[in-house]
A and B are shown apart, each in its own frame.
Chain A
Amino acid sequence: DSGVTQTPKHLITATGQRVTLRCSPRSGDLSVYWYQQSLDQGLQFLIHYYNGEERAKGNILERFSAQQFPDLHSELNLSSLELGDSALYFCASSVAGGATSTDTQYFGPGTRLTVL
């Protein structure tokens, strides 16, 4: 158990819908990262938040958005869902947000999204 929690574990929805995925980082971690893992594209970095502020964006679609709240939990919002959005969505947390020896990322168990 990494200490990172994600809800829900599974989500099945239809095309065109909107969903929200939730992540609670490990106690004391200030950074949250979101990743998408699909069969055809592997693990893709989406976005990084540090202490409530967006720090970096990766391959995140405009239909997707995220935020980190004052209590440091984060939500990933996916809208106008398409079949190709079906994937595992992971969040990870780390103590800080830079490349120091303490910045190990701890991954949550993931949310499996299925778009029908």
Chain B
Amino acid sequence: GESVGLHLPTLSVQEGDNSIINCAYSNSASDYFIWYKQESGKGPQFIIDIRSNMDKRQGQRVTVLLNKTVKHLSLQIAATQPGDSAVYFCAESISGNQFYFGTGTSLTVIP
């Protein structure tokens, strides 16, 4: 039969602009959230995480925001570079034992 792939949301940004990638999570009991970056042909790579007792965490050029009221997570990438082009996944977890991933967002950076 015909194979149907996931329809990934896509985001295109100009090099140097800021990117915002959004994610809705499903379980209000989730207490740990992670953003991963996956480049073509490679495994997911950890970017940043946040626990449910926080609403914001900053890393190098990245910021994660957590809104537990509406079960929403966002990843902000400052001064986006061509090397940031990849698929970005959010993941939710309860106590770090099971992890559930979103479908991913494909980010393309236009030089």
Contacts and interface: CB of A to CB of B under 8 A. Distances in A.
A48 B98 contact: yes
A97 B103 CA distance: 24
B15 interface: no
Interface in A57-108: 57-58, 90, 92, 94, 96-101, 103-108
A98 B103 CA distance: 23
Given A43-B89, A105-B46, A100 B101 contact: no
A40 B104 CA distance: 12
Contacts of B42: 109-110
Nearest to A88: B43
Contact of B98 (A40, A45, A92): A45
Interface string A1-40: 0101000000000000000000000000000010100011
Interface string B94-106: 0111111111100
A35 B98 CA distance: 11
Contacts of A56: 97-98
Interface of A: 2, 4, 33, 35, 39-45, 48, 55-58, 90, 92, 94, 96-101, 103-110
